[in-house]
Amino acid sequence: MSQHTRQGTTPQTIPPGGAPASERTDAPGGRRLGLTLGMLVLPMYVALGAPSVALPAIGRALAVPFGATAWILAAWSLTSALAMPVAGRLLVRWSPFQVLVAGVVALAAGSALAGAGPALSVVIVGRLIGGAGAGATVIAVFAAATALPGRQRIRVLGIIAAASATASGCGTLIGGAVTAWLGWRAVLAIPVLALPLLLAALPSRRALTRSGSGERNGSTERLDIVGAAVLSVLAGSLITLLQAHSVGLPAPVTLVVAAAGALAAVGLWWRVRSTPDGFVPRRVIASRGFLAAGLIGGTVFAGYYGVLFRAPSLIEQATGGGPLEAGVLLVPAAACSVLAGRLVGTLTDRFTGWQVSAGLAALTVIGVLVVAVSTGPAPIVLGTALTVCGFAGAQAVLVSLAPDLVAADDRHTAQGLLNFMNVLGGGIGPAAVAGLSGIVPAPVALAVLAALPLSGLLLSLTRRPTADRRPEPGATRGSPR
């Protein structure tokens, strides 16, 4: 239920910039800002899918087993996810533009190193650095978007979601073409293009700087290194364990990783309880609906990226073609992200965010199952298109919903943690499919994957509309919502 009436009045939402939402909904600069931010995320999301088709060539060129090249994908997802909550905490000290510049520089430097790496270890280090830069850049982009008021916020987020889903969906096409024409090193270096795109953000620098203001409470607190460390170990252990079989990780090493993950989980629980204002603030994760939003987003991302990981090879098997042909066939699926991004604003006018997210999770479940049971290219593309719609829509809805679940002081921190859960889910999906594919047939692995967005669907259906409300300005930060 929306915030409509209180004490017989109909108040307007006053954003940090001071203008009522109704007065700024159709500001001409909003669409320009959305396009600018959308362009900035393009190289990062292309970098998620494009290298997948280049992995065989990388393995041959560097003389390593194909299974070992899976770390090229895992490294990016891992550090991207981990950088997001760090960037969220930095945003209480820095403006989104400052975080954006730092993120783009790291993104470009790491990608250049990966593209020039003479050995797999150097390539992986470059992907780790680039992934961290990508995570920081995404958080800066979303911080700028979520500071906007009302429908302008959801419109800009829809543009960003459409750009990210289109870029990631076309990643296999771009990766196949670049690999064929320029080689695998050029594929890994694609995110360097974010540097010239940063110049396009300069005209919007003032808006990006303003959107970071108004949230400086607690800005002098130190970054909780221990909290960040245990969360990093937990996420890294989870991704590593899921890929243990696919990369041939020895049993003793697997046990050590599992033990480290278990200890990190206990350490994170202890840290949250003993340090309420730490890296993972207790008041944020205790806010009504916050963890639910993160889990829903993570399961939808898992379904989408799991399908994106498997669909190109399934199409190649069905058609007898190569990666370039598979990428071409997947273009219509990627184009569906534009439709999803435009429809989100209309749907959120009629339904609550939880109801919309339930429908998007349902689309993802259906899409994963369609791909799982399909043998021809057309149904595989159809199923992929459904997961694209779920991914693009859920990203816009849940990121827009997050600021309404926590106090204003915690907005950027909440965005970082929410995106961490989303991107971690995006890493879990392919890792789970890859790990299961060596044990069970691919259709079974995908059917198991469908259980993740199904759990997100069930979680969406259990949320009450009142969870959409933002805490009142005078509410206690630690009080239940």
Question: What would the DSSP string read from start to end of 403-465?
Answer: GGTS-GGGHHHHHHHHHHHHHHHHHHHHHHHHHHHTTS-HHHHHHHHTHHHHHHHHHHHH--G
Read off the pLDDT of each residue in 326-331 and give the average, rounded to a whole number: 80
pLDDT over threshold 60, residue 352: yes
pLDDT over threshold 70, residue 217: no
Q: Which residue has the higher pLDDT, 23 or 120?
A: 120
Helix axis angle, 290-319 relative to 353-373, nearest 10°?
20
Token reading at 311: 């669909």
Most confidently modeled range among 20-24, 92-96, 289-293: 289-293
284 CB-side CA count, 13 A: 26
Give one DSSP letter per residue of 240-278, joined into a string. Answer: HHHTTTTTT--HHHHHHHHHHHHHHHHHHHHHHHH-TTS
Read off the pLDDT of each residue in 20-25 and give the average, rounded to a whole number: 40
Are the C-beta atoms of residues 240 and 253 closer than 8 Å to each other?
A: no
- The residue written with tokens 């990608």 in the block is 111
Q: Measure CA of the first residue to CA of the last residue in the chain; give whole Å.
A: 14
Read off the pLDDT of each residue in 194-223 and give the average, rounded to a whole number: 63
Are the C-beta atoms of residues 129 and 112 closer than 8 Å to each other?
A: no
Any residues with CB less than 8 A from the CB of 66 and at least 6 apart, and which?
A: 55, 56, 59
pLDDT band of 174, cuts 50, 70, 90: confident
pLDDT over threshold 60, residue 389: yes
Any residues with CB less than 8 A from the CB of 401 and at least 6 apart, and which?
A: 289, 293, 353, 357, 468
Are the C-beta atoms of residues 402 and 386 closer than 8 Å to each other?
A: no
Provide the 8-state DSSP code for 330: T
Measured from the Cβ of residue 408, the count of other Cβ atoms closer than 10 Å reads: 15
Nearest to 88 by CA among 149, 146, 136: 136
Most confidently modeled range among 38-52, 72-86, 110-124: 110-124
Q: What is the pLDDT of residue 4?
A: 40
What are 224-278's pLDDT values in tens digits? 888 888 998 998 898 888 878 777 778 899 999 999 999 999 999 999 999 888 8
pLDDT band of 213, cuts 50, 70, 90: very low
433 CB-side CA count, 13 A: 30
Read off the pLDDT of each residue in 400-418 and give the average, rounded to a whole number: 81
Handedness of CA 191, 196, 200, 206 (dihedral sign): positive
Measured from the Cβ of residue 189, the count of other Cβ atoms closer than 10 Å reads: 23
CATH of 28-468, one of 3.40.50.720, 3.40.50.9100, 1.20.1250.20, 1.10.510.10: 1.20.1250.20
Percent of the chain with pLDDT over 70: 83
Are the C-beta atoms of residues 355 and 461 closer than 8 Å to each other?
A: no
Are the C-beta atoms of residues 34 and 41 closer than 8 Å to each other?
A: no
Q: How many secondary structure helices (H) and strands (E) does the chain include?
A: 21, 0
SS3 of the chain: helix, strand, coil, percent, to 5? 80, 0, 20
pLDDT over threshold 50, residue 346: yes
Instruction: Give 473: exposed, middle or buried? Use CB within 10 Å, 0-12, 13-18, 19+.
Output: exposed
Q: What is the pLDDT of residue 11?
A: 38
Token reading at 358: 């339930």
